[in-house]
Amino acid sequence: MQLIRKNLCKYIIRLTAILFLLSFSFISKAQDPTFSQFYFNQLYVNPAFTGINSGLRMGINYRDLWPRIPSKFPTYSLAIDAQDLSLSSGIGLNAWSDTEGEGYLRTQCISGLYSYRVILSPKNWVFQAGFNTSIINKKIDWSKLLFSDQLHPLFGITGPTNNPMPYQQSRTFVDFTVGALIKGNHRNRLKNLIATYTFGAAMHHVTEPDESITGQVSRLPQKLVLHAGAVIPVRYEVKRYKILLAPSIMWEHQTTMTEFNFSFNVLMKPLFAGLSYRNQTPLIFDIKRADAIIVNFGLAGDQNKESVVYKIGYSYDLTISDLRSNTQGTHELVLIVELRNFKFNNKANPKKKLECPNF
């Protein structure tokens, strides 16, 4: 009897997680996945970042959301982009997969990205505009869902549910995102670099495609992203920056959801570490709507005189909202490799190149 009750409690907990998942996804129109180290997942934030750095860049992100909850919420992301200054362009590929509830609801996306560069000041300031075209597949495994009419207080799961299966269990649609940014250097009168700044904006889900897998119309709402960041060298040697400060902010708004992220990183090669704060309002000190404090650290190095640059990072979200006792935070890993000498051809105009430190 005790074993039956234990299993029944387990089923009830899982059912509660499933109901939360479905209500969040279908009633609230599921929000896009969020990455704590957003500054390391630039193509996901804004397609205008495509080809912003010299050479070829590859990045992998993994996020494990709320590991204490019985159902799983992992997110994977892969991004590749390259710069082609002979065409004043950048091209890229971005793919991500988000699973909610041990495979109950899975969203997969693959995107092609393109950006175009305009020189505002040679080697100092550039403007880039970009867009991506995505193919998104959303599906649910109805056979894995557990409903209340399947549970018995003594015998546990008693049989199949009487709830009707939805019209379809999968849907594929096309989505579009556009964005723009300005990036440049601030120098003093002696032309010494003081800081590098980036300001940008992106509109996701421009056409608000129908994402419903239940047969009813459910539009994927537009999401507005505003972001800004700086890289400030504190101490550097000839062509090698030894200590960098990297503050960054990102503001997102999608339907009734608003999220603000502030991050501050310090790079002392080969190590970096940072602290971030995230809440559900643009007001930084609104503790009542605070979501998490994020701690991150990692390695940043290079090989062959910076022809190969890499970053390995880890972050932990310390939940400070009402969910803090039930979620056990969130873990995130990131790996970035840049091949700085990669070129499509040798016809690039050197005036189109932006010379600045990157984090």
Q: Where are the domains of the chain?
A: 2-352
pLDDT at residue 42, as a whole number: 97
In the chain the beta strands, taken as DSSP E runs, fall at 56-65, 74-84, 89-100, 105-121, 125-140, 151-152, 156-157, 170-187, 193-204, 223-237, 240-254, 257-268, 271-279, 290-303, 308-319, 330-339
The pair of structure tokens assigned to 44 is: 């996901």
pLDDT at residue 299, as a whole number: 96
Low-confidence ranges of the chain (pLDDT < 70): 1-30, 68, 70-71, 102-103, 143, 146-150, 152, 154-156, 159, 162-167, 189-191, 235-241, 282-287, 322-327, 346-352
Cβ neighbours, 10 Å, residue 287: 8
pLDDT at residue 150, as a whole number: 64
Element spanning 22, H or E: helix 2-22
Element spanning 190, H or E: none
CA of 311: how far to CAs of 18, 48, 115, 331, 335, in Å? 36, 21, 24, 17, 6
Does the N-terminal peptide bond of residue 270 adopt cis geometry, omega within 30 degrees of 0? yes
The pair of structure tokens assigned to 316 is: 């932990």
Angle at 167 between CA 162 and CA 169, to 5 degrees: 95
Question: Which CATH number is correct for 2-352, 3.40.50.970, 1.20.1050.10, 1.10.1740.10, 2.40.160.40?
Answer: 2.40.160.40
pLDDT at residue 191, as a whole number: 67
3-class DSSP state for residue 8?
helix
Q: Which of 175, 242, 151, 129 is nearest to 32 (CA)?
A: 175
